[in-house]
Amino acid sequence: MAIAPVSVFGPSVITNGSQGQLYVSPNGVKTTITRMVFNNTSASPINLQVWLVRMGQSITTSELVIGAAAGGLSMAAGASAPYIADAFAGMVLNPGDAIWAEASGAGLNGVASGWTQ
């Protein structure tokens, strides 16, 4: 199978106050994340949580990759330097695996790139 670069998701607005699915690896396809970035464009701090949910699993604390601290990873107010999610670099999503995220307020955006095979 050929390897192809892909925009995994985004730019996307991260769901405020509830978990939202950002990406699901297609049937018969493995997706490798190379870069994931988040940016707070609001005038207030926002907390971020991001989960890697394997096919057949549900969102629980064991799937939480970013924001394991109470309330999530705090991102400073304003469009400053983005948060680069190094924890996802090189992570492989098998078919049906998904990335979910939740923000504690409006104004959080994310983008991810990678490759599929």
For the cut 80, the answer to whether the pLDDT of residue 70 exceeds it is no
The pLDDT of residue 2 is 87
pLDDT tens profile 80-112:
679 999 999 999 999 999 999 999 999 999 999
**Type of residue at 97:** D
Would you give the DSSP letter of residue 16? Answer: B
How do strand 92-93 and strand 31-40 relate by DSSP bridges? antiparallel
Tell me the two tokens of residue 74: 């705090």
What does the mean pLDDT of the chain come to?
A: 93
The pLDDT of residue 37 is 96
**Confidence class of residue 49 from pLDDT cuts 50, 70 and 90?**
very high
The pLDDT of residue 78 is 81
Domain count, the chain: 1
**Domain extent at residue 97:** 4-116
pTM of the prediction?
0.92
Q: How far apart are CA 78 and CA 13, in angstroms?
A: 15
* CATH number, domain containing residue 90: 2.60.120
CA 66 to chain centre: 8
> By the 8 A CB rule, do 114 and 29 touch?
no
